[in-house]
Structure 1
Amino acid sequence: MNILQVFQSRSKIFYVFLLILGLISSLTSMGILMLINQTLTGKAVILVGAPENNYIAFIVLITLSFLSTSYFQNYMVELTNSIMFNLELSVVQKVRNASFESFERLGSEKIYAAIADTRVLSRVPEIFVTLINASITIICSFIYFFWVSPLGCIVVLTLMTLLLLFYIYRNKKMVKDLNTARDLQDAYYFSLRELLSGFRQIRISSVRNNNLFNKYINANRTKVQELSIRTSKKYIANELTGSYSWYIVLGMVIFVLPAIFHITAGQLAAFITTVLFMMSPVSRLVMIIPFYSSLRIAVERIEKIDKQLAVDALPDAAKVNTKDDFSSVRFQDVRYGYNQHEKEAFHLELSEFNISKGEIIFIIGGNGSGKTTFVNLLTGLCRASQGKIFINEREVEWEEFSAFSNHMAVVYTNQRLFHANYDDHDLSDKNERMHYWKDLINLNGVLKINNAKDCIEVNVSRGQQKRIALLMALMEDKPLLVLDEWAAEQDPTNKKLFYTKWLQEIRSMGKTLIVVSHDDDFYHVADRIVKFDFGRITSDTANVVDLEKNM
C-alpha cells in the first residue's frame, strides 16, 4: 500500500495542497537564499529597490512561508486524524464481519497491534511539512548553486548523493530489525493475553507462573531490549555520519573547489552560504527516513490484516427481521474443514440433516467428534466449503444463511457475559417477561441489575453466569435456541429442572431447541438424538432403545 495513496483516497485535493505548498516553499526558499547572498554582496533585491530595504523582502518571505506552512500543517492534522479514525474503525469493522476461522487464525493480539499501528500516523503532519519544505529548499539551493557554478554544483551534488545512498543502505538493513521487533511485539501481546485471561491458573502455580514470565514475557522483552539498543546505536551512527558528512562537504567547498576551479571570492561566499543554508533541511530530510520505514511497516501490516480478515467476510451486518416464520433448516452434502488443503485435518460432513420447528434435538458425541464445529456451522460462524443449505426448503447462499444466525439465540459452552446491555434489553422492573424467566430458572437473589448503567452485574459463579446467559438468550425471543453443553456447570437440582421442566416450557413458546449434551440420564426428553463421531453423524433417531444399540 502506497502511503501517498492512503492520503489521496481520503482527500481529493490532497495533491493540490501539496502543489500549492511546494510552489510557495520554492518561491520563499529561493527568495531567502538569493536575498542572503545579494545582501552579503551589497546588491538590492529587484522588487524592493535599495539594498537597505532588503529587510522588507526578508519579512515578506518569512511571513509567507510561516502562513502557508501553518495552514498546510493544520490541514494535515485534520486529514491525518480522519485517516487514523477511519483506519482504526476499518480494522474493527473487518473484525466484526470476519469469519470465525479468520479471526481465530489471526489472533486478538495482532488485532490490538494493528490498531496500535494506526497511531504511527500521528506524526505524519509534521513529517509531511518537513519533507516538502526541506526538499524544496534543497532543490532551490542546488538550482542557485548551479547558476553560480555548474561544475562546482555537480561535484557537491555527487558527493552528497553518495553519502545519502550510504545512509539509505545502512537504514535498509535496519528495517529488518524493525520487522523483527514488530513480530516480537505480537508475541508479547499473546503472552499478556495468556496471563490476563488465565490469571487464576497462572497465579496458583509457581511453575506455570515462572515459566510464563521467564521463558516468554521476560525473554521476549529481553530480545526486544537488545534489538532496540542495537537498532538505536545503528541509528545514532547513521545520524552522526549524516551530520558530520556536512563537514566533508563544507571542507570540499572551502579547500578543494578553489584549488580545482577558478572561483572568485564572491562565488566561494555564495557556495559556503548555500551549503550552510542546506545543512538543516538535509538533516531533517535524513531524519525522516527511519520514520518512513516505521510508517511503511505499519501501513503494510494494517493492509495485511485487512486482507486476512476479508477472507470469508460478510457485508456489514444489516438489520434482519427475526420475526420471520421459521419452519426448517436443512443441510445437504455440506462439508467444512479447518484446513481445507490438509488431508489429515478434521472435517465435518453433513450428508443430510434437517431441523424442524418445535423440535428438541440433542447433539451428543465424544470430545473431538464435531459437536462444537457443528454449532459454529449452524450459527454461521464457519463457512461450508461445499454443499447446499435450505431455509424453509428454499436454497440460500452463504451470505443469507449467515444472516439467518439473527434468528438464533445461542449460549456457548464458554459464554461471555457482557458488561454492557448491547442487546437493548428492557431491564426495568416493568418487564414482566424477564421476571417470569428469572423466577423459573432460579435467579431470584442472583440477578442484580445496575439501573444507573442499564446492565446486569456479572460477578457471580460460573453456574449462575450460565443461568443469566440463558435468561439473556430467552429475552432475545428468537425462534431457535442453541445451548452448547449448558448444563455442564449446573448443580443437580438446576440440571434436572433444566431437562425436565425448562426445556418443555421454552418449547411451549414455539421455540426450537438444539442442545449439546453429555447427560445421558436425560436423553429421553429429546425428540431426536443426533450422535457425532469423527465429524460425521453416526445416528439420528428419536428412539432411545435403537440409539443404545448403535452406541
Structure 2
Amino acid sequence: MQLLALVFKRRVRIFIMLVLLGLSAGGIHVWLLVMINKTLNGLMEGEKANLAFLLSALGLLLIYLVLNRVLSGITIRFSQQIVHDIRMQLIRSGLRSGYHDMKEKQELLYVAVTKDVLAVSHAALSSIVLVTAIVTVIGCLIYLAYLSFIVLIFIALVAFSGVGIFMLGSRTNLKYLQNARESEDVLFHHIRQVIDGFREIKINPAKGDALVEGPLQEESLRNYENASKGFTGYYNNNLISQFLFYVALISLLFLGGTWLNIPAPVLMSCIIVTLYLVGPLESIAGLMPDLGAGNIAAVRLDDLLRSFEENEKPVTEQVLPPLQHLEYQSVRFEYRVSETGFSLGPIDFELKKGEVVFIYGGNGSGKTTLLHIVLGLLQAQEGKLFLNGEEIVSGEIPNTLFAPVFSDFHLFDRLYGIGVIDKERANRYLKLFELEDKISIETDRFSSLKLSTGQRKRLAFIAILLENRPVLLLDEWAADQDPAFRAKFYLKIIPILKEEGFTILAITHDDKYYERADSLYRMESGALIKEK
C-alpha cells in the first residue's frame, strides 16, 4: 500500500510508537469488557459487586483515557508533520526541476500541496484509529472463543461474509474515487482560467459564462458523480455488513437457546461481546473511504515526486571571476514538437562588461527563446559559450551571472536571497526610480506592493539591482512606463547603471532610443542580425 510507504519512511519511530499505543488502548478496551462481563455474570448468580472491581475498572478507565489522550495528541502532531514534510519535499523537488518541467506541472503541484497531502494526513490519522479498532475486534473474538467456540465460529463466518462483500465492492468504489481525484486536476485548471482571466471575462462576460457553464461545470459534475458513487458504494457495503451482523445477532439469540443449547449466562455474555463488536467494526468500515482516498493521493504524490526527481537540474552557486566578456558561438535550438517546429540560430553574439545591448524583432521571431537560452532555462542543442575566453558547458551556465525582469515578471513580497540589504543604496534606487514617496524597504521586505503595473516593474528592477549580479536582462521592461519615465530610463538610468559596472541586455521596441545602445541586434525568424 503506497500510503504506508509514504508515511512510514518519514517518521518510522513515531509511527511504531503510535501503533504500540493503539495496541495498548485496544487491549485495555477489551480488558474492560471482560471485567464488566464477569461482574454481570456474578450479579446474575447472586454475587455482589465489590470495591476491588470498582477501583480496578476506574483505574483501567483512567489509563485508557490517558493513553487515548496521549495517542490523539501524538497522532495529530504526526499527521500535521506529514503534511509539512511532504509539502516541503514537493516544493523543494519542484525548485530543483527544469524550468519547463515545472511550468507543465504547476497545476499538479498546487493540487498536490493543497489537497493530496491533506488526504494522506487524514488517512494517517485513520490508520492509527484502525489499529485500535482491529485490536479491539481481535480481543473480542478471542474472548468469544473463551466463552463459546461455537459462537465464535458463527460470528466469524458472518464477519468474513461481511468483509468479503465489503472488499468486492471496494474495488469499484475505489475506482470511482480515483476518477473523482483525476477530474479535480482538470477542474482546477478551469478554475485557474476563471481567476487568471477574470479581467478578460469582465470585458466579455459571455466568455466567462461559456467557460463556467461549459467545461468547468461538466468537470465539476463528473467529479460529483464519481465521488458520490464512490462514497455511496462504501456506505451501502457498510450497511449490508451491518445488516448481516444484526441478522447474526438475532439468529444467535434464537439458535443459542434452542438448537445449540448454550447456557443462558454464557449466551448473554456472548451477546454483550457481539454488541460490543459493532462499534469497532463500524469504525473500521467507516475508515475505508479515507484510507482509499489517502492511498490514491499517496500514489499521485509519489508519482509527482519521482517525476520531479527524474528531471532534477540542481543549481549550485558558483564563484565567478569578474565578468569581462561573454560570447555565444553558433548557438542553435529547435522546439522538437513537430517537423515544422520553430528553430533558432545559428546565433553569434557577445556581451562585454559595462556594455548596453538592445535586441528588437517582431512577435514570434525568437527573442524570448534566446533570452531563455542565455539564462539557461532552455539548453541549446548546439553551440558554445565562453566566459572571459574559457568555455562553459551549455546547461551549466552560472546562475550567479544574470538578474532578469521578465515581461510577465513576478514581484516577490521580500528581497529573498540577498542577505544584508544596503539601505543607503536601496533608498538611492527608490529615489532614482521615483518610488521614495510610495514605499520604503523595511529590513528585507517592501512596505507595500499596492502599486501600478509600471511602478511594480520599477520595484522588480530595484530588487534585481540589489542582487548585485553583473548582467541585467530586461524583457520589454519600459513598455509599461509612462513616456516621461521611459525617457528617463533610457537617457539617465541606463548610463548610471553602466557607470556602476552593470552589463545590460534588453529586449525593446523603443526605436527612438536605439542609439543609446552600444550594440544593436535584430531578431528575425530565429536569426540574430547585428545592426550596430
Instruction: Name the TM-score class by shorter chain.
Output: 0.7 to 0.9
Matching of residue 435 in structure 1 with residue 434 in structure 2: no
Partner residue, 1:411: 405
Give the corresponding residue for 2:2. 2
Cα distance in 1 for partners of 2:445, 2:490 equals 31
Query: Per the alignment, in what secondary structure is the counterpart of residue 483 of structure 1?
Result: strand
Distance in 1 between residues matched to 2:385 and 2:241, nearest whole Å: 65
Call closer, same or farther: CA 1:165–1:353 in 2, change over 3 Å. Answer: farther
323, 326, 329: which one aligns with 1:326: 323
Contact preservation (8 Å) 1:425, 1:475:
no
Q: Secondary structure at the match of 2:176?
A: helix
Amino acid at match of 1:328: H
Deviation at 1:204, TM superposition (A): 1.7
Partner letter of residue 435 of structure 1?
R
What is the CA-CA distance between 1:480 and the residue it aligns to?
A: 0.3
Compared with structure 1, are the counterparts of its residues 81 and 532 closer, same or farther at alpha carbon in structure 2 (3 Å cutoff)? same
Q: Which residue of 2 aligns with 1:481?
A: 472
Task: State which of 358, 375, 381 in structure 2 corresponds to 1:379.
Answer: 375
Question: Is 1:361 paired with 2:352?
Answer: no
What is residue 14 of structure 1 aligned with on the other side? 14
CA–CA separation in structure 1 for the residues paired with 2:42 and 2:111: 62
Unaligned segments of structure 2, at least 5 residues? none
Secondary structure at 1:306 match in 2: helix
- 1:296-330: CA deviations, max 9, x gaps? 12222222332333343344x666657x4113344
Equivalent residue, structure 2, for 1:184:
183
The alignment of Structure 1 onto Structure 2 pairs a total of residues equal to 529
In 1, Cα distance between equivalents of 2:329 and 2:64: 71
Unaligned stretches of 5+ residues in structure 1: 545-551
Higher mean displacement: 382-391 or 76-85? 382-391
Corresponding position of 2:278: 279
Asked if 1:39 corresponds to 2:39, the answer is yes
Q: Which amino acid counterpart does residue 424 of structure 2 have in structure 1? A: N
Q: Percent identity?
A: 23
Q: Which residue in 1 is equivalent to 2:198?
A: 199
User: Is 2:502 aligned against 1:511?
Assistant: yes
Partner amino acid, structure 2, of 1:188: L
Is the CA contact 1:337–1:345 (under 8 Å) kept in the aligned structure 2? yes
Separation (CA, whole Å) in 1 of partners of 2:116 and 2:325: 46
- Per-residue CA deviations over 1:164-183 (Å, capped at 9, x if unaligned) read 12112223222233233323
Could you tell me how far apart the structure 2 residues matched to 1:524 and 1:254 are?
A: 101
TM-score, length-scaled by structure 1: 0.82
Is the CA contact (8 Å cut-off) linking 1:377 and 1:383 kept in structure 2? Answer: yes
CA offsets, 1:39-91, max 9 Å, x none? 344399xxxx9974444443343333333333233222222222222222222
1:10 is paired with a residue of what secondary structure? Answer: coil
- Deviation, structure 1 residue 379: 1.8
Q: Which amino acid aligns with 1:165?
A: G
Shift of 1:133: 1.6
Deviation for aligned residue 1:144: 2.8
For the Cα contact (< 8 Å) 1:99–1:311, is it kept in 2?
A: no
**In 2 relative to 1, CA 19–200 (structure 1 residues): closer, same or farther, beyond 3 Å?**
closer
Q: Indicate the SS of the match to 2:500.
A: coil
Would the alpha carbon gap of residues 420 and 27 (structure 1) be closer, same or farther in structure 2, given more than 3 Å must change? Answer: closer
**Paired position in structure 2 for 1:290:** 289
Instruction: Map residues 126-165 of structure 1 onto 2, 5 A cutoff.
Output: 126-165=125-164
Instruction: Measure the CA separation in 1 of the matches of 2:225 and 2:129.
Output: 31
Partners of 2:415 and 2:463 within 8 A in 1: no
Q: How much has 1:378 moved relative to structure 2?
A: 1.9
In 1: Cα distance, 2:426 partner to 2:414 partner: 20
Q: CA RMSD in A?
A: 3.7
The one-character-per-residue Cα deviations of 1:352-387 (angstroms, maximum 9, x if unpaired) are 554333333333333223221221222233345666
Say whether the 8 Å CA contact 2:165–2:237 is kept in structure 1.
no
Instruction: Please name the residue that 2:388 is paired with.
Output: 392
Q: How much has 1:482 moved relative to structure 2?
A: 0.6
Of stretches 156-165 and 266-275 in structure 1, the one that deviates more from structure 2 is: 266-275
Map 1:214-293; keep pairs closer than 5 Å.
214-256=213-255, 261=260, 263-293=262-292
* CA-CA distance at 1:281 after TM superposition: 0.9
Written as runs of structure 1 = structure 2, the 5 A alignment for 1:300-339 is 300-315=299-314, 324-331=321-328, 336=333
Question: Deviations for 1:120-146, whole angstroms, at most 9, x for unmatched residues?
Answer: 355456523421221111112222333
Structure 2 CA distance for partners of 1:197 and 1:30, relative to 1, 3 Å: closer
In the other structure, the counterpart of 1:87 is 86
TM-score by length of 2: 0.84
